[in-house]
């Protein structure tokens, strides 16, 4: 039997499949269908320092091979998460990753401090947020801003720090190297691609926010390319994501350089997709004499 377990920063995952942030809430709804221990980990819904109601509706639009969303980080705030959600999550026998978002460096640092004293296993830094002190430009779009926020949060973070990269940049490898140089322990990638749909009858954008984040199978080739580029540029582990919907995708993303994987959009139309992916991955490994997942990481053979 293939060993699906992986280890990142000294933390053991029973398998490499992690529920992606923003697609799994805090897991309570999915726990009604199956034990959450079936997943290697859960990256929780993005949390902010204070409660947020999110963007006005409509804020989700289906697309061919994916969805657009501009939910706007609706969440109960970090204190509520620590007091009400985390104790229950820690009973689910899986790795817990707290995803944090903010509009100022101070917000991120305050959350990192609070969560460092909690029972989360990782802190995932969502840098695809507008920096209100820099004219609203996203934290994750330049090497300088990525380096600055990573370095500042690292000073307040006692947990392994996972920096989640935006794909909406010109040179993803340079961004990743800046995160690594300034203290990132892990890279997770990719976040959603910016997209837009228009209702041809009303002539208005389908999403009230005008644009949204595109996820789902359509973005998978972009994600594979970016994971491969970053794997060849940094030495820290990569958690790959972006359109993984079947076991073949999981193998491909691992070969590109991922150590573990996040799956998200597929869970909306198949909440049991992780079972099929894990079974297919295991069968592939057995068939090809691969004993551990780590043997697949970065094993692509370039021409």
* Cβ atoms < 10 Å from Cβ of 57: 11
Q: Give the whole-angstrom CA distance, residue 92 versus residue 272.
A: 17
> Which residues have C-beta within 8 Å of that of residue 98, sequence separation ≥ 6?
44, 47, 81, 86, 115, 118, 120, 122, 123, 124
Q: Give the whole-angstrom CA distance, residue 157 versus residue 168.
A: 26
Question: Is residue 179 helix, strand or coil?
Answer: helix
Residue 109 a catalytic site member:
no
Q: Which of 9, 44, 63, 129 is catalytic?
A: 129
* Cβ atoms < 10 Å from Cβ of 189: 25
Whether the CB-CB separation of 89 and 27 falls below 8 Å is answered with: yes
Distance from the Cα of residue 149 to its chain's centroid = 18
* Cβ atoms < 10 Å from Cβ of 88: 12
Whether the CB-CB separation of 277 and 252 falls below 8 Å is answered with: no
Q: Give the whole-angstrom CA distance, residue 110 versus residue 29.
A: 29
- What is the Rg, in whole angstroms, of the alpha carbon atoms belonging to the chain? 18
Name the phi and psi angles at 241, rounded to 5.
-155, 165
Q: Please give the DSSP secondary-structure letter assigned to residue 292.
A: B
Q: Give the whole-angstrom CA distance, residue 146 versus residue 230.
A: 15
Residue 20 structure tokens: 């992606």
Residue 250 structure tokens: 């999981």
Task: Please give the positions annotated as active site.
Answer: 129
């Amino acid at each position: 039997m293939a060993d699906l377990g992986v280890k990142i920063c000294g933390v053991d995952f029973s398998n490499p499949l992690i529920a992606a942030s923003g697609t799994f809430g805090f897991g309570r709804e999915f726990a009604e269908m199956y034990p959450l221990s079936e997943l290697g980990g859960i990256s929780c819904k993005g949390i902010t320092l204070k409660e947020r109601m999110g963007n006005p509706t409509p804020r989700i639009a289906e697309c061919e091979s994916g969805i657009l969303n501009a939910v706007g980080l609706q969440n109960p705030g970090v204190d509520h998460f620590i007091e009400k959600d985390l104790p229950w999550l820690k009973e689910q026998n899986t790795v817990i990753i707290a995803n944090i978002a903010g509009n100022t460096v101070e917000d991120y640092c305050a959350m990192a401090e609070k969560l460092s004293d909690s029972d989360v296993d990782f802190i995932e830094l969502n840098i695809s947020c507008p920096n209100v002190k820099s004219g609203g430009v996203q934290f994750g779009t330049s090497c300088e801003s990525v380096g600055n926020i990573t370095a500042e949060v690292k000073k307040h973070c006692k947990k392994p720090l996972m920096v989640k990269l935006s794909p909406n940049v010109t040179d993803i490898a340079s961004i990743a190297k800046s995160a690594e140089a300034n203290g990132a322990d892990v890279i997770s990638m990719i976040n959603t691609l910016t997209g837009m749909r228009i209702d041809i009858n009303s002539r208005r954008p389908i999403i009230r926010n005008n644009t949204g984040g595109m996820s789902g199978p359509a973005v998978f080739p972009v994600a594979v390319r970016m994971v491969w580029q970053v794997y060849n540029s940094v030495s820290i582990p990569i958690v790959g994501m972006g359109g993984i919907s079947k076991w073949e995708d999981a193998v491909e993303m691992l070969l590109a350089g991922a150590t573990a994987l996040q799956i998200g959009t597929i869970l909306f139309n198949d909440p049991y997709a992780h079972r099929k992916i894990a079974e297919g991955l295991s069968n592939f490994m057995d068939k090809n004499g691969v004993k551990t997942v780590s043997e697949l990481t970065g094993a692509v053979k370039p021409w």
